[in-house]
Amino acid sequence: MSTYKVCLIGDSGVGKTSWLNRLMGEEIESMYRQFEVVESKEKEKFGGLRVDEYRDSDCCIIMYDVSKLLTARNISCWIRDYRNTCPNNPIIIVGNKLDLGVSKFEKRKLPILGKNETLVRISVIKGINIKLPLTLISNTLR
Ligand SMILES: Nc1nc2c(ncn2[C@@H]2O[C@H](COP(=O)(O)OP(=O)(O)OP(=O)(O)O)[C@@H](O)[C@H]2O)c(=O)[nH]1
Ligand SMILES: [Mg+2]
* pLDDT by 10s per residue, the chain, length 142: 678 999 999 999 999 999 998 987 766 666 666 788 888 876 655 678 889 999 999 999 999 999 999 999 999 999 999 999 999 999 999 999 999 999 889 989 999 999 899 999 999 999 999 999 999 998 888 7
Q: Give the 3-state secondary structure of residue 15.
A: coil
Closest-CA residue to 48 (of 70, 63, 58): 63
- Residue 69 buriedness (CB in 10 A; 0-12 / 13-18 / 19+): middle
Quote the pLDDT of residue 27. 63
State the burial class of residue 49 (Cβ atoms within 10 Å of its Cβ: 0-12, 13-18, 19+).
buried
Q: Domain 4-141: state its class.
A: alpha beta
pLDDT value of residue 127: 95
Domain positions in the chain are: 4-141
Which residue has its alpha carbon closest to ligand 1 atom 23?
42
* Nearest CA residue ID for atom 13, ligand 1: 15
Which of 14, 16, 18 for mutating ligand 1's site (highest number of atoms within 8 Å of CB)?
18
